[in-house]
Amino acid sequence: MGDLFLVRHGETAWSRSGRHTGSTDVPLTEHGRDEARGLAPLIRSHRLGAAFVSPAQRARETAELIGLHEVRVDADLREWDYGGYEGVTTAEIQRTRPGWFLFTDGVAPGPPDRPGETPEQVGERADRVLARVEAADTGDGVVLVAHGHFLRVLTARRLGLPASAGALFQLATGTLCRLGTEHGRPVIAAWNVRPGS
């Protein structure tokens, strides 16, 4: 597999305030659009064979603003289903569940259309994405435009770690990460890259 480029969508009002944003389709802020546009030169500097994007508006707009026009929408790239914690901040959750941590504790069940996911279920989705990426491999890089928590889990799975190890990889909005290989083994080649950094 060639290098895997991970792009977290630009800022939204909910990401700025720390609200868990799974299925709620919150648009990019103007700052988020600027973050996405700023990534365009970084993406253009690499030879890419395929691009996949989450169905969420914030991810699709980010992909468009960075110059990716031939993208495959992949439902498995959607953000973690936060169930009963959709739209709630970590601080609010910890008022009733002291010490709560997403990557180990999962979420409270939500309504039927938003039941919530365990870390392992998110890891299974990440594994399916990685299998599709490998199948689409042309020897060139592949870009995934998606969401913070999901991409953290995907990184853990690409490195052979459990889904809960996604906790180790802080990921800011509007950044580019690169997963490559060294001596045939997956490695993090770049993380949280912004223009000029």
% residues pLDDT > 90 (the chain): 90
Confidence band, pLDDT 50/70/90 cuts, at residue 138? confident
Q: What is the pLDDT of residue 139?
A: 75
Q: How far apart are CA 65 and CA 79, in angstroms?
A: 20
Type of residue found at 164: S
Q: What is the pLDDT of residue 2?
A: 84
Q: In a 10 Å sphere around its CB, with 0-12 CB exposed, 13-18 middle and 19+ buried, how is residue 104 labelled?
A: exposed
Q: Encode pLDDT of 34-68 as tens digits.
A: 999 999 999 999 989 999 999 999 999 999 999 99
Given 9, 20, 147, 149, which residue is catalytic?
Answer: 9
Q: What is the pLDDT of residue 68?
A: 95
**Cα angle 123-20-187, degrees, rounded to a multiple of 5:** 40
In Å, how far are 102, 157, 168 from 63, measured between CA atoms?
Answer: 27, 23, 25
The predicted model gives 71-78 an average pLDDT of 98
79 is catalytic: yes
Q: How far apart are CA 177 and CA 171, in angstroms?
A: 9
Q: What is the pLDDT of residue 137?
A: 66
Q: Which residue in 148, 81, 77 sits closest to 117, CA to CA?
A: 81
pLDDT, averaged across the chain = 96
Q: Encode pLDDT of 98-117 as tens digits.
A: 999 999 999 999 999 999 99
Type of residue found at 7: V
Whether 136 shows a pLDDT value over 90: the answer reads no
What is the pairing mode between strands 72-73 and 48-53?
parallel
Q: Encode pLDDT of 144-161 as tens digits.
A: 999 999 999 999 999 999
Domains of the chain by range and CATH? 4-193 (3.40.50.1240)
Q: Which residue in 147, 139, 138, 156 sits closest to 174, CA to CA?
A: 147
- Cα 182 vs. chain centroid, distance in angstroms? 23
Q: How far apart are CA 171 and CA 169, in angstroms?
A: 6
Q: Encode pLDDT of 7-43 as tens digits.
A: 999 999 999 999 999 999 999 999 999 999 999 999 9
Given 11, 61, 79, 117, which residue is catalytic?
Answer: 79
Structure tokens at 186: 């997956």
- Cα 137 vs. chain centroid, distance in angstroms? 20
Q: What is the pLDDT of residue 195?
A: 86
Q: Which residue in 74, 149, 135 sits closest to 106, CA to CA?
A: 149
9 is catalytic: yes
